[in-house]
Amino acid sequence: MDTSEIRNRFLAHFEAAGHTVVPSASLLVDDPNLLFVNAGMVPFKPFFLGQETPPYDRATSVQKCVRTPDIEDVGKTTRHGTFFEMCGNFSFGDYFKERAIELAWELVTKPVADGGWGFPEDKLYPSVYVDDAEAVALWKKVTGLPDDRIARLGKSENYWSMGVPGPGGPCSEILIDRGPAYGADGDFSAEDRYLEFWNLVFMQDELSAVRSKEDFDVAGSLPKKNIDTGMGLERVAFMTQGVENMYEIDVMYPVIARAEELTGRRYGVSHEDDVRFRVVADHVRSSMMLIGDGVTPGNEGRGYVLRRLLRRAVRSVRLLGYEDPALPELMPISRDKMGETYTDLITDWDRIARVAFAEEDAFRKTLQAGTQIFDLAAREVKSSGATTLGGDQAFALHDTYGFPIDLTLEMAAEQGLSVDEQGFRGLMAEQRERAKADARAKKGQHADTGVYRGILDEHGPTDWQAYDTLETESRVLAVLRGGAPVPVLAPGEVGEIVLDRTPFYAESGGQAADAGVIDWDGGSLEVLDVQRPVRGLVVHQVRVVDGELTAAAARHLLHARVDPEWRTGARQAHSGTHVVHAALREVLGPTALQSGSFNRPGYLRLDFGWTQALTPDQVRDIEQVSQQALRADLPVGWQYMTLEEAKEWGAIALFGETYDNTKVRVVEIGGPWSRELCGGTHVDHSSQIGTIVVTGEASVGSGSRRIEALTGVEGFGYLARERDVVAQLSTMLKAQPDDLVARVQDMAERLKATEKEMERIRLAQLLGAGAALAASATQVGPVKVVAHRADGASGGDARQLAVDVRGRLPQGEAGVVVVIGVADGKVSVVAAVNDEARSRGISANELVRAVGPLVGGKGGGKDDLAQGGGTDAGGVDEALRLVTHEVGKRAVQG
């Protein structure tokens, strides 16, 4: 049974049982605790938390998921993968344990001919939470299984929570016995033997004081009991397809097969190679799905995860023996298999391929640079007589240059060296712990929403009127400071208030929050920020300007007023963002899609997927197309429709945003020229934007660019300042504005020529001292020594002078030259040793290493020429004296 058939049977089974089929959400999620959707229930989280009312009582989905904590284990087991699909059925206060068990057991055991999966009942074992006697009884009732076929497991296996205060509950898993070849009878910890493939969560408890996954308090029962199940599609696929693991199923193995062709290696021959093949299959698919949902490679967050996946895939192919670009050969295979279900992979392939292939090209250059750095480190280890590359050096290669540790180990072995893996692992562990600490700190943000959920439950959603008016008469529902209710806000204090209705736009969709005031008879507040901590509730951060705000104010009307100038500027900037996005796509093509944006009055920035810098002509074209749209006075309108209707209409959805499938707002400018899903405030006609002035275009990470622009009065102000600069330059240079570029270019060329001539004269003077220095060499035993301080000399100057003086020393005599340059607070040490001196055991490398600490630095190189640097000019004279001493000592030994 292929993967698509398993997926279709799952959805059909639950749709027939009255469930609404919900399409998979994006992998990107607006949640402070998550980088990616990591479970099928995540899109339904607001329903389980009581933040929103679900539009259905029961639902089913096949959700795209990515889990990243175990990236290093991918391929080593049959269980670890980064991207996977989670099949789930959900009940929101509707059916509970018994019906959930019935539905799952029916699908799993129903014959294939009848639409089920046909798993043999004698191979199936339900598991329950050890204290859930009700579940044991229900499993017996529904399945007829004896008591000894039901496994009792502890909290770590069979109790579910989100790790923070909120809903939780016991769960039951369905396990399949794969036979004694995979482990001992009855050993349910042997996950390869008794493989769990479906988890049924009975969400019934309200948890408090959550200290860890297994340490928490149960505050009581939830007012509504819910069902959340998760079934691993890939696990069912490999069990029904008769293969050993998830990497060999129909949607993944073709990538391995192509990798076999490219590398000449064979899957199934050695465990080491098998792991690499599996990494390739998993990471190619995972990377493609992430790029498809709008992630671009970067150095932090989601972008760093994607970069790591892509680079591990490329590195694994390289370790299998294929050194040419691999992703253009492998990713289309995965596209063709996954594109059967996720058609966006086909329609958006040009963008996906451009991002992925550019990252591989960049990594290949990184490998080249890292190899050079590794070679230098290996030479240093060997020259010191050691045989182990330090853990800190391996970590620097990995962390700073993106050089994989496996590659470091491989290359070290080729040179007869080992690597301090323990030291490397220790530094990696420290880095991971810092990351976990940061994640734990962020996790606490989720608990902070409790007070807002309470306000929402008590008073209902805010009557939000930002689209319709700039002023409302409102009442105070809550006064808070530091996330907790307070009786009063005194003059000068900053706190938060919740109103029953508000005209203020809450920051969202890239648009900054409105500014304005809230006043009443006896006081006023300055609005500093407006946010939605939970959906449906608008919260205003305010500073008390006059009077004091007390709970008694809730009995009186307040006047909430948005600053009209602020709102006008915000509308111009947000509509300007849509215009620039449409212009960008017109100039560069439809694959130049927005990946993020921010706008405030008079300013906008727009991030988009693109792998190379825009040319000045392209930037000018984007600006010109934008200005033409303003001059055309295009109508701006919006309407509400379902998400599917919006997609059919050609509306663009921003990657990573979450949209309500029952109703979305589509903003259009000039009809089909610009149609985007957007909840922001906009002008009525494009001419009201005033102007759009592009002020910058730059990279914000591999495969991602950023355009910045000014709109409205701010745009005109920018142009006026540029006009003033041109006028001042015209006056200073006595030239017409049209002649300024040529005049400045001529001045720059003359200045460059002058500086080049001055440099030639300076260098000639520096080298002119070479003969005198050689003639004044000090005789130290059989060696002529020149130890010279060169003030104003850079590292390059000192190197040239040292080599020049060495060449002027008498032929056939041992000679040593050490020049220490001092310039701009930096010290440069260069040692040059001729063949005769080296034959007496004198090494330039050893001399630089000896004197380096005296000038606060270090260095090294070859025996005939070495260089170092430092920061302590006060030690130069002592360092020069040490040169003579070291030469004398080595000459005697030689």
The three-state DSSP-derived secondary structure of 203-252 is EEEEEEEEEECCEEEEEEEEEEEEEEEEEEHHHHHHHHCCCCCHHHCCCC
Contact by Cβ (8 Å): 690, 715: yes
Q: Are residues 100 and 235 located together in one domain of the fold?
A: yes
Higher pLDDT, 701 or 417: 417
Q: Is 478 within a domain?
A: yes
Give residue 448's pLDDT.
Answer: 55
- Specify which residues 498 forms β-bridges with: 478
Contact by Cβ (8 Å): 395, 336: no
Q: Which residue is listed with tokens 């693109």? A: 610
CA atoms within 13 Å, Cβ hemisphere of 220: 3
- Specify which residues 523 forms β-bridges with: 520
Q: Are residues 605 and 553 located together in one domain of the fold?
A: no
Q: Is 164 within a domain?
A: yes
Contact by Cβ (8 Å): 427, 395: yes
Give residue 441's pLDDT.
Answer: 47
What is residue 335's DSSP assignment? Answer: H
Q: Are residues 219 and 264 located together in one domain of the fold?
A: no
Cα end-to-end distance, the chain, whole Å: 79
Question: Does 578 carry a binding-site annotation?
Answer: yes
State the angle between helix axes of 271-292 and 349-383 in degrees (0 to 180), rounded to the nearest 10: 130
With a cut of 70, say whether residue 599 has pLDDT above it: yes
- Contacts made by residues 211-214, CB under 8 angstroms, sequence distance 24+: 212/163, 213/155, 213/156, 213/161, 213/163, 214/154, 214/155, 214/156, 214/159
Q: Which residue is listed with tokens 């104003």? A: 792
- Beta-strand relationship, 463-464 and 418-419: unpaired
d(CA 297, CA 483): 36
With a cut of 60, say whether residue 803 has pLDDT above it: yes
Give residue 568's pLDDT.
Answer: 97
With a cut of 60, say whether residue 557 has pLDDT above it: yes
- Specify which residues 866 forms β-bridges with: 831, 861
Q: Is 232 within a domain?
A: yes
Q: Is 735 within a domain?
A: no
- Specify which residues 865 forms β-bridges with: 832
Measured in degrees and rounded to the nearest 5, phi and psi for residue 539 equal: -120, 130
With a cut of 70, say whether residue 437 has pLDDT above it: no
Q: Are residues 662 and 682 located together in one domain of the fold?
A: yes
Query: What percent of the chain is modeled with pLDDT above 90?
Result: 59
What is residue 474's DSSP assignment? Answer: E
**Boundary (domain end) residue, out of 562, 584, 607:** 562
pLDDT digits (tens, 9 = 90+) for 818-848: 999 998 888 999 999 999 999 988 999 999 9
With a cut of 80, say whether residue 762 has pLDDT above it: no
What is residue 466's DSSP assignment? Answer: T
Give residue 120's pLDDT.
Answer: 94
Give residue 482's pLDDT.
Answer: 85
Give residue 30's pLDDT.
Answer: 72
Q: Is 499 within a domain?
A: yes
Q: Are residues 87 and 232 located together in one domain of the fold?
A: yes
Q: Are residues 649 and 694 located together in one domain of the fold?
A: yes
Buried b (16+ CB within 10 A) or exposed e, 792-805: ebebebbbbbbbbb
Q: Which H helix or E strand runs over 893?
A: helix 876-893
d(CA 379, CA 412): 11
Q: pLDDT category, 685, cuts 50, 70, 90? A: very high
Q: What is the three-class DSSP state of 790?
A: strand
Q: pLDDT category, 440, cuts 50, 70, 90? A: very low
All residues at 6 or more sequence positions from 159 whose CB lies less than 8 Å from its CB, including other chains: 129, 168, 169, 170, 171, 214
SS3 of 734-783: CCCHHHHHHHHHHHHHHHHHHHHHHHHHHHHHHHHCHHHHHHCCEEECCE
d(CA 795, CA 867): 8
Residue 36's nearest CA partner among 703, 656, 660 is 656
Q: Are residues 537 and 627 located together in one domain of the fold?
A: no
Question: Does 559 carry a binding-site annotation?
Answer: no
Using a cut of 0.85, tell me whether the model's pTM lies above it.
no
Give residue 60's pLDDT.
Answer: 97
pLDDT digits (tens, 9 = 90+) for 448-476: 577 888 898 889 999 999 999 999 999 99
Contact by Cβ (8 Å): 426, 464: no
Residue 498's nearest CA partner among 528, 440, 541 is 541
Domains in the chain: how many in total?
Answer: 5
**Boundary (domain end) residue, out of 304, 327, 352:** 352
With a cut of 60, say whether residue 443 has pLDDT above it: no
Q: Are residues 509 and 658 located together in one domain of the fold?
A: no
**Boundary (domain end) residue, out of 322, 352, 382:** 352
List the structure tokens of 871: 């920061």
| Residue 261 Ramachandran class (φ > 0 left, ψ -120 to 50 alpha, else beta) | alpha
| C-alpha angle 211-215-221 in degrees, rounded to nearest 5 | 100
d(CA 300, CA 306): 10
Give residue 563's pLDDT.
Answer: 96
Q: Are residues 255 and 233 located together in one domain of the fold?
A: no
CATH of the domain at 791: 3.10.310.40
Contact by Cβ (8 Å): 531, 506: yes
Q: pLDDT category, 702, cuts 50, 70, 90? A: low
Q: Is 386 within a domain?
A: no
Q: Domain residues for 158? A: 3-243
All residues at 6 or more sequence positions from 717 whose CB lies less than 8 Å from its CB, including other chains: 710
pLDDT digits (tens, 9 = 90+) for 517-542: 999 988 999 999 999 988 889 999 99
Higher pLDDT, 142 or 766: 142
Give residue 445's pLDDT.
Answer: 41
List the structure tokens of 495: 């706190």
What value does the mean pLDDT take over residues 186-193? 76
Q: What is the three-class DSSP state of 90?
A: strand
Higher pLDDT, 537 or 795: 537
Q: Length of the chain, please?
A: 894
What value does the mean pLDDT take over residues 682-701? 93
What value does the mean pLDDT take over residues 63-70? 87
**What sign does the CA torsion over 65, 66, 67, 72 have?**
positive
State the angle between helix axes of 712-733 and 740-768 in degrees (0 to 180), rounded to the nearest 10: 60
Buried b (16+ CB within 10 A) or exposed e, 535-569: ebbbbbbbebeebebbeebbeeebebbbbeebbbb
What is residue 36's DSSP assignment? Answer: B
Question: Does 574 carry a binding-site annotation?
Answer: yes
With a cut of 90, say whether residue 767 has pLDDT above it: no
Contact by Cβ (8 Å): 705, 614: yes
List the structure tokens of 603: 């300013």
CA dist list (Å): 864 to 156, 284, 358, 802: 64, 48, 42, 11
Give residue 275's pLDDT.
Answer: 92
Q: Is 648 within a domain?
A: yes
What value does the mean pLDDT take over residues 358-366? 86
Lowest mean pLDDT among 191-200, 201-210, 739-748, 761-770: 761-770
Question: Does 171 carry a binding-site annotation?
Answer: no
With a cut of 60, say whether residue 706 has pLDDT above it: yes
pLDDT digits (tens, 9 = 90+) for 78-111: 667 899 999 999 999 999 999 999 999 999 999 9
With a cut of 80, say whether residue 756 has pLDDT above it: yes
Higher pLDDT, 291 or 400: 291
CATH of the domain at 629: 3.30.980.10
Q: Are residues 187 and 200 located together in one domain of the fold?
A: yes
d(CA 455, CA 476): 12
Give residue 117's pLDDT.
Answer: 93
Q: Are residues 549 and 628 located together in one domain of the fold?
A: no
Question: How far, rounded to the nearest angstrom, does the alpha carbon of residue 324 sit from its chain's CA centroid?
Answer: 27
Q: In the chain, count of helices (H) and strands (E)?
A: 26, 36
Q: Is 429 within a domain?
A: no
Q: Which H helix or E strand runs over 627?
A: helix 616-631
Q: What is the three-class DSSP state of 394?
A: helix
- Specify which residues 463 forms β-bridges with: 501
Contact by Cβ (8 Å): 682, 571: yes
Q: Are residues 36 and 158 located together in one domain of the fold?
A: yes
Contact by Cβ (8 Å): 490, 548: yes
Q: pLDDT category, 859, cuts 50, 70, 90? A: confident
What is residue 593's DSSP assignment? Answer: -
d(CA 67, CA 245): 18
CATH of the domain at 24: 3.30.930.10
